[in-house]
Amino acid sequence: MDADRLRAPVARAYRVMAYVTGTMLIVLCFVGIPLQVFAHSDGLEKVVGTAHGMLYMVYLVVAFAMTRLVRMRTASLGTVIVLAAGTIPVLTFVVERWVTRRYIEPALAAAPAGVVTEAAAGR
Amino acid sequence: MPDAPAAPDASAGSGVSPQPRWRILVTPRWIGWHLFAVATVVGMMWLGDWQFRRALAGNTLSWAYTFEWPIFAVFGVFFWSKTIKDELNPPAQRTGQRDEITLPAGARSPGASHQAGPARVPGTGQPGPEDIELAEYNAYLARLQNEVKSHGKWHGLR
């Protein structure tokens, strides 16, 4: 099935986006905003803030696709937390670890992309 | 919400038959979720409008957010409709991820093994008792393995 082939790349894209978005958010919250508030220099905040906004849109799409492919329930706290994690500093990394352990790795182990399916078809 | 007024009639008419699947969407939990979805989408549109007014007032950066918020609002609607769709037609995973172990050929389900014994016809290629016992024991081991597979891990937010 298509889902089996998409699972690994989408999961990888999700993890990359989680790290990129999470890093942007940390720079924004712990460097950009303090600079804006205390040093009255909003250059960094503007650039990183906009970048995070754009990246979060990509993160949302990729993360949602990932939750479907690893068979998380849509109407569940876990899915909502995964999607929201891209807007909460540090949580992105925690959630990425949890999702990888709890859902991505079991899902990939259950259906190793392509290999098993082809072997089964050959018999 | 065209379905809302129909709810009392449906329940009054069918006293015995099981409730239709969509009735789950009008439980307090789901009504709360619907209200939350509507509130967030309206809030996002309002934020987009606010950024639009700021952009018109001369804040260049606000142009980016003017388009961003409606996109988030659209995603909110999309996510909400997906949750409803999933709830009405649960994906196949629920059955696929059951703890059922496929028994090897010739093995019976553990409960049925004793009754199945005398029914065996000799000389018709039926598996011998050792085969069945071995297959059942393997299935038992597989079941145990399946049960302990996730032990020792954090199960929060399940």
Chain-chain contact of A53 with B65 (C-beta, under 8 angstroms): yes
**Mutate which: A47, A55, A73, A91, vs B, most B CBs within 10 A:** A73
Cβ–Cβ under 8 Å, residues B99 and B146: yes
pLDDT beyond 50 at B28? yes
Return d(Cα A19, Cα A63) in angstroms, integer.
12
Which residues in chain B have Cβ-Cβ distances shorter than 8 Å to A83? 79
Residues B65, A75: C-beta atoms closer than 8 Å: no
Q: How many angstroms separate the CA of residue B117 from the nearest CA in chain A?
A: 32
| Residue among A50, A74, A77 minimizing CB distance to B157 | A77
More confident residue, A93 or A4: A93
- The listed range with the strongest mean pLDDT (A1-10, B29-38, B115-124) is B29-38
Whether residues B157 and A75 touch (CB distance < 8 A) is answered with no
pLDDT tens digits along B91-124: 554 444 444 555 555 555 554 444 444 445 555 5
Closest residue of B to A60, CA-based? B75
CA-to-CA separations, B102 to A39, A57, A111, A121, in angstroms, rounded: 65, 42, 16, 19
**Mean pLDDT score, B47-70:** 87
Convert the pLDDT of each residue in B121-141 to its tens digit. Answer: 555 566 677 788 888 888 888
List of residues 6+ apart from A57 with CB closer than 8 A: B68, B71, B72
Tell me the residues of chain B between 24 and 53 that have a Cβ less than 8 Å away from chain A.
Answer: 33
Closest CB to A53 among B64, B75, B86: B64
Q: What pLDDT does residue B16 have? A: 52
Those residues with Cβ within 8 angstroms of residue A33's Cβ, 6 or more apart along the chain or in another chain: A45
Distance CA(A67)–CA(A69), nearest Å, equals 6
pLDDT of B47: 92
Q: Compute the nearest-CA separation of B143 from chain A (Å).
A: 16
The band of A117, judged by pLDDT with boundaries at 50, 70 and 90, is very low
- Contact state of A78 with B91 under an 8 Å Cβ cutoff: no
Written as six digits, the tokens of B10 are 């449906």
Q: Which residue of A has its CA nearest to B149?
A: A106
- pLDDT score, position A111: 63
